[in-house]
Amino acid sequence: MKSRILLAVILLATVACNKSRPYDDVDPETLKPSGSEDTRPSYSFEGEIADDRCRFVSEQLSLHYDDAGIIFSSEKSAGTTIYRAIGLATGNSAELFMNETDEPRLLVNGTEIKIKSAVKEHENEKGAWIHIQTPDYKHIVFVVTDL
């Protein structure tokens, strides 16, 4: 009988201890439902900068200068720089409009693609290495160099 009373006391003490501990010192991250962690793999543009070949690489379309018949160009018009890659055999195209004041715009095969950002990660006298991110965190690489 004594041992039963002792067990009840221990249990009550345990519950009392738990109740006395608020969640103040709990890391909120641990309170997120399981599976909601940001699982995006880290991304580095460094490798792209090391490669100075003209290219447009996205999930939807890839155009590489080394494949014949792809025009890579840049054009300046009224404060806007337009970078283009156009496949002559297919008509597939990528066009990026960048200027100081407006949001950048990307057109793939003539259709505007929603983008979150377009940043010149590197620029020199040879050209520009542009990192484009889409709202769903896809990465697009547009390198227009040596023109």
Partner 1 sequence: MQISRTTLIAPLALTIILTAQADVVDDYATGRSGEALKATLSRHCRPSVAIDSDIIAESLVMLQDKGGNPLDGLTGRPLHDLDFAAVTYIVPLEWMNPVPTFRKEASTDLNNMLLTDGATAIDRGQLPLGDSTDNIDCVTPPPSLKGDIARAVFYIATLYPCELWGSWGRSIFDNTAYPTLRKEWSEMYMRWHQDDPVDEQERRRDEMTRTLQGNSNPFVTHPDLADYLWGEKAGAVYKPSAKPDNPDSPDTPGGATPPGDIDETPTPLRECYDSSDTYVYLYSPYVPDNVSWTVDGTPASGRIEVASLSTGRHELRYSSPTAKGKLIITVRQ
- What residue ranges bind partner 1 (CB under 8 A)? 54, 65-77, 84, 86, 88-92, 109-110, 146-147
CB of 135 to partner 1, least distance (A): 24
CB of residue 62 to partner 1, shortest distance in Å: 15
- Closest CB to partner 1 among residues 34, 77: 77
Checking 34-42 for CB contacts under 8 A at 24+ apart, the result is 40/137
Gap between the Cα atoms of 101 and 106, Å rounded:
16
Nearer to partner 1, 59 or 67 (CB): 67
For residues 38 and 66, which CB has a smaller minimum distance to partner 1 in the complex?
66
CB atoms within 10 A of CB 80: 15
State phi, psi for 19 to the nearest 5 degrees: -65, -25
